[in-house]
Amino acid sequence: MSLSQVRGCLSCQLGIRPEVLLPHLGGVIVEAAELAGCLCLRARARADQAACPRCGQVSGRVHSSYGRRLADAPVGGRRVVIRLAVRRFFGVNPDCRKKTFAEQIAGLTARRARRTGSPPSRPTTSPTCTPSPGPAPRPRRCPQRPDPAMEL
């Protein structure tokens, strides 16, 4: 297939999912992607269960859920923001002091972190580089639209 024959979304036609290009997103399902100044991805965990961070017991009993906003490494010079739907689970181990806990996505989230755990895509600055004059332009914020799915 040549590019001149492609109509619509090339990624959809070729079966390329965002997590193929961004392997640290393998633990989530990306439900939507929007280019609006930055690349905004709306995602949720792929797993049905999560392990308690204290005792390691796996639970599938959802207590509640909430939206979490994470900054990810830039892609193609664009800021990346992940709006992640996070579930809080009931602990199932009666001997564990943790009665509820929020799920964490391996390689992506850490407790209370506002950035993903993915490595930065920028090359490290060598000591011979001269600093650019003046501050970098301030990045534009992603539009804040009410999203009923994120306010569960």
Find, among 105, 98, 83, the residue nearest to 152 by Cα. Answer: 83
* Residue 52 contacts Zn ion per CB under 5 A: yes
* Residue 88 contacts Zn ion per CB under 5 A: no
User: Residue 72, class by beta-carbon neighbours within 10 Å (0-12 exposed, 13-18 middle, 19+ buried)?
Assistant: buried
Size of the site for Zn ion (CB under 5 A): 7
The residue from 25, 38, 43, 91 that contacts Zn ion (CB under 5 A) is 91
The residue from 49, 93, 100, 118 that contacts Zn ion (CB under 5 A) is 93
Cα(142)–Cα(41) distance, integer angstroms? 11
Segment lying near Zn ion (by CB under 5 A), choices 13-21, 61-69, 92-100, 141-149: 92-100
User: Residue 93, class by beta-carbon neighbours within 10 Å (0-12 exposed, 13-18 middle, 19+ buried)?
Assistant: middle
Q: Residue 101: left if φ>0, alpha if ψ -120 to 50, beta else—which one? A: beta
> Least CB distance from residue 60 to Zn ion, whole Å?
14
* Residue 51 contacts Zn ion per CB under 5 A: no
The residue from 30, 51, 55, 71 that contacts Zn ion (CB under 5 A) is 55
> Least CB distance from residue 70 to Zn ion, whole Å?
24
**Which parts of this chain interact with Zn ion (CB under 5 A)?**
52, 54-55, 91, 93, 96, 98
